[in-house]
Structure 1
Amino acid sequence: MIRIEDRPPEFVEALAKGLAIIEAFDAASPEMSLSEIARKVGLSPAAARRSLITLSALGYVAQCGKRFHLTPKVMTLASGFYFSARIDEILQPRVAEIVTRFGDAASVGVLTGPDVVYVAHYSVQRARRAAAVVGARYPAYATSMGRVMLAGLTDDALCAYLDTLDAKALTSRTCTDPALLRAAILQARADGYATTVDQLDYGITALAVPIRNAAGDTVAALNTSGYTGLVTPETLVRERLPELTTAASAIGHDLKRHPVLQSIFAA
């Protein structure tokens, strides 16, 4: 939850608690008891219980025995963003074009705190691997999109990110050393793109480029990925970088014509 010192005067704490509870459910915790939810979100059991009663009455949470889980109604929150921002009209066709040209998968992501959130995705892949679906959230340090967006931060913001980073190894190849991560991010800043191999999950080799607004600020990222062993970073750079860069530039121009999407990316 947001720090007390960062809260605006009209901050509604009850709403924040409810949203924090919704965000607490994930693949590792699809259902939780009251005490588990309270502990994960940092609330007292009584406060967690009041929020759960409210969320249950609104239809966003259901209970099975003593354990709680989300309901499909939660998806309406995401779909409201997806369609109001016109992701289906503006971004989805761009990533689909990349996959039509090269196969594999392509995504658009934004940096939200220390994580990358996927806002558009298209794939022809069928292997079992980390799901890069719309709404998926992954640590920025372990993804090509995350690294290219971190490269767009100011030096002070990048230092703050690395100083507070608690990186965990997601595979045996995940880089968790702050010094090595800094070097990789600065290399991405110099190159204008980032590549990763098996950082997030085994079998993922990816290339990402920044999406910039009219002021030249990095506001999102576009990537293409393939199976490790079938593609290499060098192959992706040689065969896909020019078209990926062109598509990212086109998305940047799209932002100018769609104020809502531009505002969302600037948030």
Structure 2
Amino acid sequence: MQAQETDNPEREDRDFVASLEKGLLVIEAFDAGRPRLTLSDVAKITGITRAAARRYLRTLTRLHYADFDGRYFSLSPRILRLGYAYLSSTAIPTRLQPFLERISEETGESSSAAVLDGDDIVYIARSATRRIMSIGLGVGSRLPAYCTSLGRAILAYQPPETVEAYLRRVRLEARTPRTVTDRNEFRSLLDAVRRQGYAIINEELELGLRSIAVPLVQKNGQASIALNISAQAARVPASEMEERFLPALRAASEALRYTL
């Protein structure tokens, strides 16, 4: 009976709360590049009317999830409750953390775990030995999937129709002169990742940064989580990424396959 209700589009439409969707869009309008927004900014970014944006922002402010200084809105620390709800309700980040710390101890480099969320990757666990990017990364940080080793390691194991839908939606922007922006070349790269079982990014996300990632492949052949190691290009030649870091990543991946 439950399956019949779930498969009924009309039932799904009746159960969908559009106002909640718009409220979440308002929250997601804020990010590292847009920490403070006016009412007009929020309306433009979300595509909702100014009147609706005002109601959502005022509600967030009254509930102390946002602050308002008379012109600009910004998220308040209380918004961390929403992210912490995920971290405290799932054991996955806790299980991943010891493996990431072991990888960092063995290699002397930062290691991370991420999942695919929409068109981005989201970091769910991290062991940082040093800051190697111009932006700080931590749990909850988001980056484009197409130009990250974590993103490619996960995308390579998605069904072909999922990858094609992703490529129709996403603009492959050049983050550096090395970023792959040709869709056919990108498809070929994903094919190679699936054949070899790992992805390497050579200064495509940020100049001076190299990374290598492996997926956590499930029994059905799919992957929703990936692990990576990042290093400064000045310290680690591209030719040594596989030899130096792949064994530690693969060992962790194999061990986690039977514990997650």
Same fold (TM over 0.5): yes
1:107-256 mapped onto 2 (5 Å cutoff): 107-255=112-260
Match of 2:27 in 1: 22
* Residue of structure 2 in register with 1:9 after alignment: 14
Using the TM superposition, give the Cα deviation of residue 42 of structure 1 relative to its aligned residue in structure 2, in angstroms.
0.8
Give, in angstroms, the shift of residue 35 of structure 1: 0.6
Q: 1:193 to 1:127 in 2, by over 3 A?
A: closer
Aligned match of 1:35 in 32, 36, 40?
Answer: 40
In the alignment, the residues of structure 1 paired with residue 133 and residue 223 of structure 2 have an alpha-carbon distance, to the nearest angstrom, of: 31
2:5 is matched with which residue? Answer: none
Q: Is the 8 A contact 1:207 1:233 kept in 2?
A: no
Q: In terms of Rg, which structure is larger?
A: 2
Partner of 2:103: 98
AA of the residue aligned to 2:116: L
TM-score normalised by structure 1 residue count: 0.89
Given that 1:111 and 1:149 are in contact with CA atoms closer than 8 Å, whether structure 2 keeps it comes out as yes
On the 8 A contact 2:213/2:229 being kept in 1, the answer is yes
Q: Aligned pair count?
A: 251
Secondary structure of 1:254 counterpart: coil
C-alpha displacement of 1:231? 1.1
Kindly provide the CA deviation profile for residues 179-225 of structure 1, in whole angstroms up to 9, marking residues without a partner as x: 22111111111111000011111221000001122333212101011
**In the alignment, what sits opposite 1:258?**
none
Q: Distance in 2 between matches of 1:88 and 1:112?
A: 15
Residues 162 and 149 (structure 1 numbering): CA distance in 2 closer, same or farther, change over 3 Å? same
In structure 2, the residue matched to 1:65 is 70
Using the TM superposition, name which of 180-189 and 119-128 deviates more: 119-128
Counterpart mapping for 1:37-52 below 5 A = 37-52=42-57
Equivalent residue letter for 2:243: R
1:40 positional shift: 0.1
* Separation (CA, whole Å) in 1 of partners of 2:136 and 2:159: 30
1:116-138 residue CA offsets vs partner (Å, 9 max, x unmatched): 11101111113452333110111
SS at match of 1:185: helix
Which ranges in structure 1 are unaligned for 5 or more consecutive residues? 256-267
| Conserved? CA contact 2:145–2:151, under 8 Å | yes
User: Structure 1 112/88 Cα, relative in aligned 2: closer, same or farther at 3 Å?
Assistant: closer
SS in 2 for 1:27: coil
8 Å Cα contact 2:133/2:206 also seen in 1? no
Structure 2 runs not aligned, ≥5 long: 1-8
Higher mean C-alpha deviation, range 120-129 or range 178-187 = 120-129
Give me the CA root mean square deviation: 1.8
Partner of 2:138: helix, strand, or coil? coil
Moved more, 124-133 or 144-153: 124-133
**1:219 aligns to what SS in structure 2?**
strand
TM-score by length of 2: 0.91
Q: Matched residues in 1 for 2:252 and 2:121: separation?
A: 19
| Structure 1 residue 74 displacement after superposition | 0.8
Deviations along 1:234-253, one digit per CA (max 9) or x if unpaired, are 31211221221120122222
Aligned counterparts of 2:71 and 2:61: Cα–Cα separation in 1:
13
Equivalent residue letter for 2:174? A
Is this contact kept in 2: 1:152–1:217, CA < 8 A?
yes
